[in-house]
């Protein structure tokens, strides 16, 4: 049995009041709150261990290094990667995708080549590829989607050709909640020998991800969206790819030998990790992943899907409600508008009731254009949200609707 009230006790911020009302935090797609286990790991490491990693012979440096490298193993297990050489620590999803777009672009992309992204990507999985295309004279191609927010898989087949270098696709849309058939996307791309990058920012917090089962070549996610600290994330890459790709940033740690004439690079994963990593954050990220693993990703997924189904049922009964994204496979994100109430007005008034939602284009302007709108209100759920909170949201929306 998943005991959500027990889980909530681990998150001190959830007992805060906002304008005298209990906080109803429904902005988990933007970032999640942190359990004590994560915050305490950060405090403990700064108080008792702190020393720079990889470079010291002294006790603290070795201890900090051990914690940092043990975290890499936790991430490896969490994603079921083959080896820790495939786990690169980054600042987050955005940095992971920029790393790949640069490194892959430098070595694999020529003028006239094509990069495929989907119509529902976050700017983080569009702009780095666009910048690379500009540098290389390559072109961006877009997998279209249906009105209900599902990828058009036949169109994906038709898009791929001998000039396609990589397919970049989100596993879960941060606007529509659509869960994309990534294993299928990978199969289609691999049939033509094309690698696939998966943006896992919105999937990792909500479902069990197994990169070997998906068979994707690259996979990026952010720590802060999976109950971990800000400023740390992961880029997974198959070892055979990472071996082939050149480094992204130069500096300390990513080198084997440096002379003014020539530098040779370190082995994996360090080749891609220039400079002092946020080793406190990597340790805290491991604590966050252990936390969700202990609750059970299957249990979390089941709980959140039930909660989302309940929310969808209740919200659809509201007069004037329009929900964007009704894919068959959907996750804990609900984007909506009510009548012609501006999303900013809805968000601001809900805030006054203690309900935190996100408003705007959600860093997906091309998707907004596809939907023919400027923005939505977005409620996104996490493992600590409850049906009572959904009821509070519904009551809040009704109250705002009556005001208009
Ligand atoms: N991709 C998706 C699907 C996202 O939802 C987000 C965060 N909103 C990102 C990428 C970027 O994540 P970060 O800002 O943590 O790098």
Q: Does any domain span residue 35? A: no
Q: Does any domain span residue 380? A: yes
CA angle 350, 375, 124 (to 5 degrees): 110
Domain at 360, CATH number: 3.90.1150.10
The interaxial angle of helices 36-48 and 279-295, nearest 10 deg, is: 150
Q: What is the pLDDT of residues 193-221, one digit of tens each?
A: 999 999 999 999 999 999 999 999 999 99
If one counts the domains in the chain, the total is 2
Strands 114-118 and 164-170, sheet pairing: parallel
- How high is the mean pLDDT of the chain? 97
In whole angstroms, what is the distance from residue 100 CA to residue 110 CA?
Answer: 15
Q: Does any domain span residue 99? A: yes
| % of the chain at pLDDT higher than 70 | 100
Q: What is the pLDDT of residues 335-345, one digit of tens each?
A: 999 999 999 99
Quote the ligand 1 centre to 310 CA distance (angstroms). Answer: 26
Residue 280 CA from chain centroid, whole number: 20
In whole angstroms, what is the distance from residue 129 CA to residue 139 CA?
Answer: 9
In whole angstroms, what is the distance from residue 71 CA to residue 68 CA?
Answer: 5
Q: Does any domain span residue 177? A: yes
Q: What is the pLDDT of residues 33-57, one digit of tens each?
A: 999 999 999 999 999 999 999 978 9
Q: Do 90 and 218 have their domain in common? A: yes
Q: Does any domain span residue 131? A: yes
What's this model's pTM, rounded to 2 decimal places?
0.98
Residue 273's domain comprises: 40-293
At residue 1 the predicted structure's pLDDT band, cuts being 50, 70 and 90, is confident
Measuring CA to CA, how many Å separate 373 from each of 49, 348, 365, 366, 370? 50, 19, 9, 10, 8
Q: Do 259 and 164 have their domain in common? A: yes
Probe ligand 1: pick from 91, 122, 197, 235, max atoms within 8 Å of CB? Answer: 122
Q: Which of 293, 311, 335 is the last residue of a domain?
A: 293
Measuring CA to CA, how many Å separate 6 from each of 30, 39, 149? 24, 18, 35
Q: Do 289 and 301 have their domain in common? A: no
218 forms beta bridges with: 197, 237
Q: Do 240 and 212 have their domain in common? A: yes
At residue 79 the predicted structure's pLDDT band, cuts being 50, 70 and 90, is very high
Quote the ligand 1 centre to 199 CA distance (angstroms). Answer: 8
What lies within 8 Å, CB to CB, of 296 at 6+ separation is: 2
Q: Which of 236, 264, 293 is the last residue of a domain?
A: 293
Q: Do 339 and 369 have their domain in common? A: yes
Q: Do 175 and 148 have their domain in common? A: yes
Q: Which of 278, 293, 308 is the last residue of a domain?
A: 293
Active site residue 169: no
């Amino acid at each position: 049995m998943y005991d959500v009230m027990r889980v909530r006790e681990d998150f001190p911020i959830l007992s805060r009041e906002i304008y005298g009302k209990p906080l109803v935090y429904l902005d988990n797609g933007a970032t999640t709150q942190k359990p004590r286990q994560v915050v305490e790991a950060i405090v403990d490491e700064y108080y008792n261990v702190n020393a720079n990693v990889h470079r010291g012979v002294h006790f603290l440096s070795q201890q900090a290094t051990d914690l940092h490298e043990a975290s890499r193993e936790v991430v490896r297990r969490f994603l079921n990667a083959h080896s820790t050489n495939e786990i690169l620590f980054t600042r987050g999803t955005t940095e992971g995708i920029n790393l790949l777009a640069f490194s892959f672009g430098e070595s694999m992309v020529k003028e006239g080549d094509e990069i495929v992204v989907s119509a529902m990507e976050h700017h983080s999985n569009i702009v780095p590829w666009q910048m690379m295309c500009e540098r290389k004279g390559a072109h961006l191609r877009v997998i279209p989607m249906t009105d209900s927010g599902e990828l058009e898989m036949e169109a994906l087949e038709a898009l791929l050709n001998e000039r396609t270098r990589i397919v970049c696709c989100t596993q879960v849309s941060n606007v529509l909640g659509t869960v994309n058939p990534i294993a299928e996307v990978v199969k289609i791309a691999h049939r033509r020998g094309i690698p696939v990058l998966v943006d896992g920012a919105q999937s990792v917090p909500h479902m069990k991800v197994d990169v070997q089962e998906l068979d994707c070549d690259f996979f990026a996610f952010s720590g802060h969206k999976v109950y971990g600290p800000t400023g740390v994330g992961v880029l997974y890459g198959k070892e055979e790819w990472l071996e082939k790709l050149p480094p992204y940033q130069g500096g300390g740690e990513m080198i084997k030998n440096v002379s003014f004439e020539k530098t040779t690079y370190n082995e994996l994963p360090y080749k891609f990790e220039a400079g002092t990593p946020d080793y406190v954050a990597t340790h805290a990220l491991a604590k966050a992943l252990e936390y969700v693993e202990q609750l059970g990703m299957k249990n979390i997924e089941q709980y959140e899907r039930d909660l989302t189904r309940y929310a969808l049922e209740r919200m659809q009964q509201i007069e004037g409600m329009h929900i964007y994204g009704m894919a068959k496979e959907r996750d804990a994100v609900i984007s909506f508008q009510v009548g012609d109430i501006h999303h900013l007005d809805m968000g601001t008034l809900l805030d006054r009731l203690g309900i935190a939602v996100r408003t705007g284009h959600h860093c997906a302007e091309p998707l907004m254009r596809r939907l023919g709108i400027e923005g939505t209100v977005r409620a996104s759920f996490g493992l600590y949200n409850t049906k009572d909170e959904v009821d509070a949201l519904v009551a809040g929306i009704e109250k705002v609707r009556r005001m208009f």
